[in-house]
């Protein structure tokens, strides 16, 4: 174990130092209902009669939009990577309405009512064409089941289709809508309808599928010549359909006892995984005829939770924590499956073909040829809250069990760094990589460990009452290093065939999406990107609620030193607040009609 150079600070109360004074006061025109942070330093606020916006370090409201009346949190959808918000209002006694708003200016980009939508039910963006797809009831066609497409750049309607027209769609009541490979697919009680989002027209429809049980799912082949439709429910059927005209390509569909959970188109055949209540089944079918290729399917209790498709077969991990390879012949490669424990946090192949896994109880590397362990698996003692992150600089994983911190490399080497002893019944909930080290934090605790494994500080601030969930946000583009699981680890060049492990930098993702709409959003996008460039280095503080010398408030800590360098006094044990770390503003809801802003750059 590394030598611990520990600075432990227990603070209750914290004595007066650099009290940050309120700088901005915003008197809302009506009662506060909800709020959220948007990219570009904008606070969006819904009130009892409308919607307004506050720009960081600006003492004035940008606008007050009241056309839709009261706006709640579930009636605001931020459009990823774009300076737009979709406002939705379906209040009783009012005509439902969707308005796409430029949240910098408050000007509508699209309004459903002005385009004759009397009951919009949903929408979808074709991002690289600046196209909005909307469905629901439209008065122009006097139909409750329409789909419309709009060019947002040219501000014009491209197509409007009545999905109840039997000649066009076969009729029926809509059950579900999905988008697959540039196609809008609607499943109705009588038909399946496919609309091409590139050509803005109906490609085909069919009434020959038994979809009365509900939603169907779809899988297109790589050439977009064939589509497989299947049911994610018990006694499911699988249909092979000509993707050009909708004609059925098998004499009869594949019938299964279970619900189809996954289909893969392999050169060996159509690979199908299905589940019943307490068991699963895998089978391989001839894509030409729909006939079985194996003498009998592979089945077992439980379910498969991890899949890695390889030339010889499928490496899989089950819900009970067993690993094996199912060959394309239908046989298992290993006579006895390897017990690894479950659930899996990481399940991925190393470059040498061994399997690296991290489950809820242990970590190891499996030789898939003989079923042996490359090294003795490392077992974790009592796991209270397992979180993981990728240390890309050092090509390793950082794992917190809640009690212990580990550095783990993909060859199975596990180094226990230190014990974790967060106070106040808390465990680390976030991992952040900084130049000074690895920061672990929770609501009331923070701990920094350098990249050699030395603990630099460990601080705890007692909550002023019941500990509440932190509300510190970095806007809608906050990049997080918390694990969501591992599959984008392949993008980091660490592992192949991994399941989700780290969240991609959403600011970079937003930037890519923004470029797709550069001709539409124009100046607003330029302003948003410029603002992010100017604020990229401001996220150096943590805010923890505690009892201060002047009363209840938040203490500001330097993430690299653990030392307090500022305080905000709220005198509220359960404050409603947001922190925009990108632009350095603390927003505090002082009353139903008043928001106070603090400049955190001081």
Q: Is the separation of the CB atoms in 450 and 310 below 8 Å? A: no
Q: At which residue do the structure tokens 């000509």 appear?
A: 242
Peptide bond between residue 13 and the one before it cis (omega within 30 degrees of 0): yes
Of all residues in the chain, the percent with pLDDT exceeding 90 is: 56
When comparing pLDDT for 542 and 169, which is higher? 542
What CA–CA distance (Å, rounded) separates 257 from 455? 55
| Residue from 18, 9, 13 nearest 548 by CA | 13
What CA–CA distance (Å, rounded) separates 13 from 379? 39
In the beta sheet, which residues pair with residue 595?
A: 26, 589
Q: At which residue do the structure tokens 């499911």 appear?
A: 236
What CA–CA distance (Å, rounded) separates 148 from 117? 9
At residue 535, the pLDDT reads 34
Q: Would you place residue 344 in the very low, low, confident or very high pLDDT band (cuts 50, 70, 90)?
A: very high
At residue 302, the pLDDT reads 93
What CA–CA distance (Å, rounded) separates 424 from 317? 36
At residue 224, the pLDDT reads 86
pTM value is 0.78
- List Cα–Cα distances, 381 to 130, 344, 360, 414, in angstroms: 52, 17, 10, 14
Backbone angles phi, psi at 534, to 5 degrees: -80, -15
| Residue from 428, 423, 421, 379 nearest 400 by CA | 428
User: Average pLDDT of 546-571?
Assistant: 91
DSSP category for residue 539: -
Mean pLDDT of the chain: 83
Please check the confidence at residue 464 and state whether its pLDDT lies above 50.
yes
What CA–CA distance (Å, rounded) separates 485 from 567? 35
Q: Would you place residue 563 in the very low, low, confident or very high pLDDT band (cuts 50, 70, 90)?
A: very high
- List Cα–Cα distances, 325 to 69, 111, 302, 581, in angstroms: 58, 53, 16, 47
At residue 538, the pLDDT reads 41
At residue 187, the pLDDT reads 84
User: Average pLDDT of 126-136?
Assistant: 84
Indicate the length of the chain as a whole number.
Answer: 602
Q: Is the separation of the CB atoms in 364 and 377 below 8 Å? A: yes
Lowest mean pLDDT, pick from 15-24, 181-190, 219-228, 488-497: 488-497
Q: Is the separation of the CB atoms in 501 and 488 below 8 Å? A: yes
Q: Where are the domains of the chain?
A: 8-599
Q: Would you place residue 189 in the very low, low, confident or very high pLDDT band (cuts 50, 70, 90)?
A: confident
- List Cα–Cα distances, 87 to 131, 340, 562, in angstroms: 17, 47, 41
Q: Would you place residue 93 in the very low, low, confident or very high pLDDT band (cuts 50, 70, 90)?
A: low
When comparing pLDDT for 318 and 522, which is higher? 318
């Amino acid at each position: 174990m590394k030598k611990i150079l520990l600075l432990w600070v227990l603070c209750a109360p914290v004595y007066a130092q650099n009290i940050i004074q309120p700088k901005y006061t915003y008197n809302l025109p009506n009662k506060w209902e909800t709020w959220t942070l948007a990219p570009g330093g904008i606070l969006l606020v819904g009130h009892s009669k409308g919607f307004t916006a506050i720009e960081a370090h600006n003492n004035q409201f940008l606008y007050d939009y009241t056309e839709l009346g009261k706006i709640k949190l579930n009636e605001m959808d931020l459009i990823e990577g774009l300076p737009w918000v979709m406002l939705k209002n379906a209040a009783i006694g009012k005509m439902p309405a969707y308005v796409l708003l430029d949240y910098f200016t408050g000007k509508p980009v699209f309004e459903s009512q002005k385009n004759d939508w009397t009951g919009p039910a949903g929408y979808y963006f074709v991002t690289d064409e600046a196209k909005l797809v909307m469905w629901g009831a439209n008065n122009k066609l006097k139909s409750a089941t329409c789909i419309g497409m709009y060019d947002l750049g040219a501000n014009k309607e491209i197509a409007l289709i009545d999905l109840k027209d039997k000649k066009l769609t076969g009729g029926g009541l809509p059950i579900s809508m999905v988008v697959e490979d540039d196609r809008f697919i609607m499943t109705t009680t009588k038909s399946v309808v496919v609309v091409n989002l590139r050509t803005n027209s109906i490609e085909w429809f069919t009434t020959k599928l038994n979809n009365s049980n509900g939603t169907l799912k779809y899988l297109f082949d790589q050439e977009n010549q064939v589509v497989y439709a299947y049911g994610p429910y018990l006694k499911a059927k699988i249909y092979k359909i000509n993707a050009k005209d909708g004609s059925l390509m098998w004499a009869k569909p594949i019938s299964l006892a279970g619900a189809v959970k996954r289909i893969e188109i392999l050169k060996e055949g159509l690979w199908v995984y299905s589940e019943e209540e307490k068991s699963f089944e895998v089978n391989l079918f001839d894509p030409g005829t729909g006939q079985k290729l194996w003498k009998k399917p592979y089945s077992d209790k439980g379910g498969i939770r991890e899949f890695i498709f390889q030339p010889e077969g499928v490496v899989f991990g089950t819900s009970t924590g067993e690993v094996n390879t199912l060959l394309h012949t239908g046989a298992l490669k290993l006579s006895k499956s390897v017990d690894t424990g479950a659930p899996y946090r990481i399940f991925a192949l190393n470059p040498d073909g061994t399997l690296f896994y991290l489950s809820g109880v242990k970590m190891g590397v499996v030789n898939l040829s003989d079923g042996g362990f490359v090294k003795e698996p490392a077992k974790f003692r009592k796991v209270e809250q397992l979180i993981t992150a990728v240390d890309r600089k050092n090509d390793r994983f950082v794992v917190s069990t809640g009690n212990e911190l580990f550095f783990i490399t993909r060859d199975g080497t596990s180094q226990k760094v230190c014990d974790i002893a967060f106070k106040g019944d808390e465990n680390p909930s976030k991992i952040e990589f900084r130049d000074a080290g690895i920061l672990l934090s929770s609501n009331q605790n923070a701990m920094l460990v350098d990249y050699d494994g030395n603990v630099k500080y460990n601080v705890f601030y007692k909550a002023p009452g019941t500990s509440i969930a932190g509300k510190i946000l970095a806007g809608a583009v906050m990049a997080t290093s918390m694990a969501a699981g591992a599959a984008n680890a392949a993008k980091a060049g660490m592992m192949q065939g991994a399941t989700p492990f780290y969240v991609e930098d959403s600011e970079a993702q937003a930037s890519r999406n923004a470029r797709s709409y550069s001709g539409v959003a124009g100046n607003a996008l330029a302003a948003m990107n410029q603002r992010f460039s100017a604020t990229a280095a401001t996220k150096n503080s943590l805010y923890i609620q505690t009892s201060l010398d002047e009363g209840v408030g938040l203490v500001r800590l330097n993430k690299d030193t653990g030392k307090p360098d500022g305080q905000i006094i709220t005198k509220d044990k359960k404050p409603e607040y947001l922190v925009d770390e990108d632009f350095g503003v603390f927003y505090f809801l002082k009353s139903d009609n008043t928001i106070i802003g603090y400049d955190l750059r001081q």
